[in-house]
Amino acid sequence: MTEVACLDHVGIVGRDLAAMLAAYRRLGFLPTQPQPLMGRDASGVAVSLGQSSAHLVFERGYVELSAVETDSPTHHLASYLGRHAGLHILAFGVDDLSAAHERCIAAGLRPRPVARASRHIGYGKRHGEAEFEWFMLEPIVAPEGLLCFVRQVTPQLVFQPEVQRHTNGGLALSGLYLVSAAAAEAASRIAAATAGALLRSATGARVELRDGWVECLDRADFQRRFPGAEPPPAPSLAGFCVRVREPHALRDSLCRSGLLVRPTGTGCWINGADAAGSLVEFAG
């Protein structure tokens, strides 16, 4: 049976990690301590990937806050960060990375070779090197952002309860909003890559994953969904949704903190200007 991918994590990318941390602490998240992200060369030796990251870890999924520390045009995030700082990483989780790689080849999505990466985990009761296997799609076939697949080799290190105690009651990474003038085509491409269920509607298309979803909208429909939102130029990854314990109580709390909070039927949302370049939706 074909494995349906899950929504493993999304990533905010910029140059100023301290500013990203401050913004997300203000939203009630508990970020982990920043750590350098390391790759592995052909002999297995750890080499710097030129970026440092902190994480907002949930019971399911996480948000990466990542600062790129090199100006090299060959860095895997260079083409995206060259546009603007903000939401640039959409990572799908799988147990069988080889099968996902073959599926992307068959769909004509030009995946790069599988690589290994790691970061040190010093939080919680279990410390060590969190290991990952991953591959990304070539930017020319994924213009919205860095679309990649990851296999968590050591999830027991990453998902520890000590870093899941967000004061905003965050429980899980629920979904991501993608904005494109070719929203239906983007959704079809993601469905083919992930084996997710493609659901079309009058305002766009949605891909249902094993855990989580990706909703693809054109700019006008995104702004109708989130009146007053200012998404980056399309095509782009424009926002993400976090499931929280008490969305209406959180909305009141964020309003008291002086943030501009917009209500929805099931919670609220914050514009990218207050969240390091990404709309953040909180829902029940």
Per-residue pLDDT of the chain (284 residues; tens, 9 = 90+): 789 999 999 999 999 999 999 999 999 999 999 999 877 777 777 788 889 999 999 999 999 999 999 999 988 888 899 999 999 999 999 999 999 999 999 999 999 999 999 999 999 999 999 999 999 999 999 999 999 999 999 999 999 999 999 999 999 999 999 999 999 999 999 999 999 999 998 878 999 999 999 999 999 999 999 999 999 999 999 999 999 999 999 999 999 989 999 999 889 999 999 999 999 999 99
Residue 1 lies in a domain: no
- Are 127 and 25 in the same domain? yes
- Are 146 and 21 in the same domain? yes
pLDDT at residue 33 in the model: 95
- Are 89 and 105 in the same domain? yes
- Are 155 and 20 in the same domain? yes
Name residues whose C-beta falls within 8 Å of residue 148's C-beta, 6 or more positions apart in sequence: 89, 90, 91, 92, 134, 135, 136, 137
- Are 175 and 262 in the same domain? yes
CA contacts within 13 A on the Cβ side of 90: 32
pLDDT at residue 6 in the model: 98
Q: Which residues pair with residue 108 across a beta bridge?
A: none
Q: The pTM is what?
A: 0.95
Residue 81 lies in a domain: yes
- Are 12 and 136 in the same domain? yes
- The DSSP element (H or E) to which 40 belongs, if any, is strand 35-40
pLDDT at residue 44 in the model: 74
pLDDT at residue 106 in the model: 95
- Residue ending a domain, among 163, 188, 213, is 163
pLDDT at residue 214 in the model: 98
pLDDT at residue 207 in the model: 98
- Are 14 and 138 in the same domain? yes
| Sequence letter at residue 49 | L
Residue 272 lies in a domain: yes
- Are 70 and 159 in the same domain? yes
- Are 125 and 220 in the same domain? no
- Residue ending a domain, among 106, 138, 163, is 163
Domain containing residue 249: CATH number: 3.10.180.10
- Are 143 and 266 in the same domain? no
Total domains in the fold of the chain: 2
Q: How many CB atoms lie under 10 A from the CB of residue 78?
A: 15
- Are 263 and 126 in the same domain? no
Domain range for 191: 170-283
- Residue ending a domain, among 140, 163, 186, is 163
- Are 176 and 268 in the same domain? yes
Residue 212 lies in a domain: yes
Q: How far is CA 205 from CA 75, 104, 155, 177, 193, in A?
A: 31, 20, 31, 10, 15
